[in-house]
């Protein structure tokens, strides 16, 4: 079987690799000039690796961890808490407090669901859980920033259920691939060989009589026996115009919301300890992670802003200067240099956003819609599974399996 794959992020690459291992021919089309998509690592002038996109690898992210083991890529500990960020005064919530915040969110979501059904926003759930001052609660700020979406537009019940298990199974020892997370993408690319066509955005997909045709922006057409569509959500929303889909799947795609986020990666010096600290009275944070001794911060600091409102408050349209100044003003534990890299995912032409969340019209049955193929097409990508590096990889493996099951 010849399989066309649109998108060479972790989802598309893993699908292509699994298909190739099962004996199929693959051709991968990528709009960018590199593989990895939102998994993209580079180095600062001092040699420190930084991540433009996906960074934290959870202890439960078994698929990416298994691949790293197979590829001989060490995962190193970050040495900071993700869920429990420090405040500027150095305080940090206890794990009991964190568990209490998560269970309050969950109980509020289920109460609202019982009285109103599923159409409840994240803001409504947060207000119900934490009262009128919910927006100043550090856990709530973290929650809104992590979802990257307008809290009025995303479904609070879906999100509360997504985070439900995090309190009891409290685990903070997240890591990163020492060589940069995109080493995983580059290694899959090396293994699948010269099958990725770069600079080839797919703008139309059709299927008829057991054949799938993809057309690129330059008008070239490609034909295969099957296809995996693994492009980011905003691109997928456009590609489904020419496809017949089950109604529930179409609803899940159209109703899902793409969030926005930005990162400012800065070169720093000083022997500070690794720390993730919430900005004062603002819903963004920054972190310095552990060097190989595990004791000191590496020579890099990452600031992260999730959601369009927070990004606007940081004046990103004028460049990194204002954000850099704000970062320097409160990260007095480090010497923050002027050397920095700003990545604004909202304006990235290949992703058109950061990652996606269930929209207001989400209902539980939408969670399983991508466990089926449509004719000879399977869908992959964070938006079809879980908005993480690991979720993207798993969605690719699932798509390959769907196409090869007899
Ligand atoms: C700022 C930020 C922080 C994050 N933090 C974390 C984190 O800490 N931990 C974590 O696990 N995850 C994190 N994520 C999420 C994670 O990075 C993504 O879920 C994952 O990388 C998505 O992979 P994907 O293959 O679904 O999509 P992508 O990586 O976007 O791959 C899709 C590919 O399709 C290409 N493409 C686009 N349009 C077309 C087209 N028309 N034709 C052909 N190709 C096309 C793109 O160029 C891209 O290469 C973060 C993401 C961002 C942006």
pLDDT value at position 61? 94
**290 and 327 share one domain:** yes
Could you tell me what percent of the chain has a pLDDT over 70? 98
pLDDT computed for residue 165 by the predictor: 67
- Picking from 133, 166, 199, the residue at the C-terminal end of a domain is 166
74 domain residue, yes or no: no
The parent domain of residue 156 ranges over 95-166
Q: How confident is the model at residue 169 (pLDDT cuts 50, 70, 90)?
A: low
In the chain, how many domains are there? 3
275 & 342 share domain: yes
Q: Say if residue 331 is in the same domain as residue 205.
A: no
Of 110, 143, 166, the one marking the end of a domain is 166
As a whole number of angstroms, the distance between CA 50 and CA 109 comes to 36
User: In which band, very low, low, confident or very high, does the pLDDT at 84 lie, cut at 50, 70 and 90?
Assistant: confident
Tell me: the pLDDT tens digits for 48-74?
Answer: 999 999 999 999 899 999 999 999 999
**Residue 355, ligand 1, Cβ within 6 A:** yes
DSSP annotation of 359? B
Is residue 241 in a domain?
yes
Range of lowest pLDDT (80-89, 114-123, 191-200): 80-89
Separation CA 198–CA 201 (nearest Å): 8
User: Could you tell me the pLDDT band of residue 168, with boundaries at 50, 70 and 90?
Assistant: low
Judge if 348 and 365 occupy the same domain. Answer: no
Would the CB of 188 count as within 6 Å of ligand 1? Answer: no
What does the pLDDT look like over 89-120, one tens digit per residue? 999 988 889 989 999 999 999 999 999 999 99
**Residues 154, 357: contact at Cβ < 8 Å?**
yes
SS3 245: coil
Q: Which residues of 50-75 are buried (b: 16+ CB within 10 A; e: fewer)?
A: bbbbbbbbbeebebbbebbeebebeb
- Report, as an integer, the average pLDDT of 347-376: 97
pLDDT, residue 376, reads 97
Residue at which a domain ends, from 123, 139, 166: 166
Mean pLDDT of the region 259-277 = 94
- Coil, strand or helix at 3: strand
Q: Are residues 362 and 249 in the same domain?
A: yes
Query: Do 340 and 276 belong together in one domain?
Result: yes
- Residue whose Cα lies nearest atom 48 of ligand 1: it is 37
On whether residue 72 sits in a domain, the answer given is: no
Q: Tell me the CATH number at 217.
A: 3.50.50.60
Tell the residue nearest (CA) to atom 31 of ligand 1.
Answer: 9
> Are residues 217 and 253 located together in one domain of the fold?
yes
Q: Give the DSSP letter string of 381-392.
A: SGGGS-SSHHHH
Domain co-membership, 130 together with 273: no
Atom of ligand 1 nearest to the CA of 387: 19
Q: Are residues 103 and 249 in the same domain?
A: no
| More confident: 283 or 226 | 226
Mean pLDDT, residues 321-341: 96
Distance 271 CA to ligand 1 centre (A): 33
Residue 79 lies in a domain: no
User: How far is Cα 5 from Cα 37, in angstroms, rounded to an integer?
Assistant: 14
pLDDT tens digit string along 374-395? Answer: 999 999 999 999 999 999 999 9
State the pLDDT at residue 164: 81
The answer to which of 203-212, 286-295, 365-374 has the lowest mean pLDDT is 286-295
Classify residue 174: in a domain, yes or no: no
Identify whether 78 is part of a domain.
no
Cα 394 to Cα 80, 98, 150, 283: the distances in Å are: 26, 28, 27, 31
Are residues 300 and 186 both part of a single domain? no
pLDDT at residue 159, as a whole number:
97
Q: Within a domain: residue 172? A: no
Alpha carbon of 364 to ligand 1 centroid (Å): 24
Q: Is residue 188 domain-shared with residue 250, that is, in the same domain?
A: yes
At residue 241 the predicted structure's pLDDT band, cuts being 50, 70 and 90, is: very high
Nearest ligand 1 atom, CA 202? 42
In a domain, 269, yes or no: yes
Ligand 1 atom nearest to CA at 384: 26
Ligand 1 centroid from CA 388, angstroms:
8
- Inform me whether the pLDDT recorded for 75 exceeds 90: yes
Is the entire prediction scored with pTM above 0.95? yes
Q: Let me know: does 106 contact 166? Beta carbons within 8 Å.
A: no
If asked whether residues 372 and 293 sit together in one domain, one would say: no
Those residues whose C-beta lies under 8 Å from the C-beta of residue 304, and which sit 6 or more positions away, are 145, 261, 262, 263, 284, 285, 286, 287
| CB of 10 shorter than 6 A to ligand 1 | yes
Task: Determine the Cα angle at 393 with ends 307 and 155, to 5°.
Answer: 35
* Residue 406 reports pLDDT greater than 80: no
How confident is the model over 397-401, as a mean pLDDT? 98
Is the CB of 11 inside a 6 Å radius of any atom of ligand 1?
A: yes
């Amino acid at each position: 079987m010849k399989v066309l794959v649109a998108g060479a992020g972790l989802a598309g690459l893993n699908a292509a690799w699994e298909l190739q291992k099962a004996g199929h021919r693959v051709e991968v089309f990528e709009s960018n000039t590199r593989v990895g998509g939102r998994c993209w690592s580079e180095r600062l002038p001092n040699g420190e690796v930084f991540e433009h996109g996906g960074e934290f690898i959870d202890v439960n992210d078994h698929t990416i961890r298994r691949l790293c083991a197979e590829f001989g890529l060490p995962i190193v500990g970050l040495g900071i808490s993700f869920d429990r960020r420090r405040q500027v005064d150095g305080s940090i919530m206890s794990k009991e407090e964190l568990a209490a915040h998560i269970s309050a969110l969950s109980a509020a979501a289920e109460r609202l669901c019982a009285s109103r059904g599923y159409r409840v926003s994240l803001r409504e759930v947060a207000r119900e859980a934490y009262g009128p001052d919910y927006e100043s609660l550090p856990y709530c700020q973290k929650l809104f920033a992590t979802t990257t979406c307008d809290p009025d537009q995303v479904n609070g019940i879906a999100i509360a259920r997504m985070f439900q298990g995090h309190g009891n199974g409290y685990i903070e020892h997240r890591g990163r691939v020492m060589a940069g997370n995109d080493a995983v993408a580059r290694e899959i690319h090396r293994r699948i060989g010269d099958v990725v066509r770069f600079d080839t955005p797919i703008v139309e997909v059709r299927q008829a009589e057991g054949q799938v045709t993809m057309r690129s922006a330059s008008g070239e057409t490609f034909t295969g026996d099957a296809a995996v569509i693994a492009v980011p959500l905003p691109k997928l929303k456009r590609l489904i115009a020419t496809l017949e889909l089950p109604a529930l799947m179409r609803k899940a795609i159209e109703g899902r919301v793409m969030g926005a986020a930005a990162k400012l990666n800065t070169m720093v010096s000083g022997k500070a300890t690794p720390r993730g600290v919430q900005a004062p009275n603002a819903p963004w944070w920054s972190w310095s992670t552990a060097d190989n001794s595990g004791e000191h911060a590496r020579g890099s600091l990452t600031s992260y802003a999730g959601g369009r409102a927070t990004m606007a408050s940081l004046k990103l349209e004028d460049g990194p200067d204002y954000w850099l100044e704000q970062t320097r003003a409160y990260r007095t534990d480090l010497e923050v240099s002027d050397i920095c890299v700003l990545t604004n995912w909202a304006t990235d032409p290949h992703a058109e956003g950061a990652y996606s969340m269930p929209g207001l019209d989400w209902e539980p049955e939408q969670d399983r819609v991508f466990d089926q193929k449509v004719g000879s097409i399977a869908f992959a990508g964070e938006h079809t599974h879980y908005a993480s590096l690991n979720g993207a990889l798993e969605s690719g493996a699932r798509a390959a399996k769907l196409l090869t099951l007899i």
